[in-house]
Amino acid sequence: MRFGYSCTVLLLVFVSYVQADEWTPLLDESLSDWDTYLSFKHVPSYDGSPPRDEAGNLIKPIGLNTGNDVYKVFTVVKENQTPVLKVSGEIYGAVTSKKSYKNYHLKLKVRWGDKKWSPRLDKLKDTGILYHAIGEHGKEHFRSWMLSQEFQIMRGHIGDYWSQATSAIDVRAFTPEYIMNPIADENEPFIKVGKGEKIKGLVLRKENFERPHGEWNELELICYEGKSIHIVNGGIAMVLQNSRYLKDAVSTPLVEGKIQLQSEAAEVFYKDIYVKTIETLPKKYAVLFQ
């Protein structure tokens, strides 16, 4: 009896370990793990106010899973039999995971397309991974995304941090001076960034780990109990902790939520999107928070 009980316990521990270490694919031909949301086709003069037409009437966002995507912003194509998410970027919005995630490791590959749209025709190509996304769509400046933390994907800036809506976080970074933005470095102390903080929302990645235009970049996002790490092609771009947001002017932990992949006026492709639950931070990353 004791031997049988021991074997059962060991089996359960083994199964739990395997499940925790298992990668789950998040991309198929039908985008079955994602919702789609489209907001507006913004103009260069947009100031964050509700968009209006030439007659001054409010323009409604296209919306969530409407089927009205005549622009085909989100489509899945095949590349060597592998599904690839093509994001045209023509309309602001995102694909949003149907599930919420906490304590996980996300990995994916991304590469730029050739097209850009207004209002970013004269700006760098831009998109991003939004994590710990909660609440309604369209709650930030561009009325297109959810309250969240951003792992920025911008040409030459993959791995930057942006605050979305009322989010805030602490980042290991050099303290900025004058008009400078803080620059991430895992050897520096944590500084406070985001809503309610002196530094309002942007931290630059440690260095440019991006591959040449047109090549696939491998990105990893590790999140554990309010801590996160932005990894670009194997390089640590940023170390963050104390993820939070302001709720009714009260600082509130932000450690769980959906994942969004943005559409932001640039053509971009995603593939090999996988996620797995983690029970703790791997040792090589845990030391970055000590």
Confidence of residue 68 (pLDDT cuts 50, 70, 90): low
Helix, strand or coil for residue 285? helix
Residue 70: what pLDDT? 82
CA dist 284 and 47 (Å) reads: 43
Assign domain 23-289 one CATH number from 2.60.120.560, 3.30.70.520, 2.60.40.10, 3.80.10.10. Answer: 2.60.120.560
Domain boundaries, the chain: 23-289
The answer to whether residue 20 scores a pLDDT higher than 70 is no
Query: What is the residue type of 84?
Result: V
Query: What is the residue type of 70?
Result: V
Helix, strand or coil for residue 179? coil
- Tell me how long the chain is: 290
Of the candidates 172, 126, 173, the residue with the CA atom closest to the CA atom of residue 150: 126
The answer to whether residue 17 scores a pLDDT higher than 80 is no
Residue 10: what pLDDT? 42
- Per-residue pLDDT of 93-121, as tens digits, reads 999 999 999 999 999 999 999 999 999 99
Q: What share of the chain is helix, strand, coil (3-state, %, to 5)?
A: 10, 45, 45
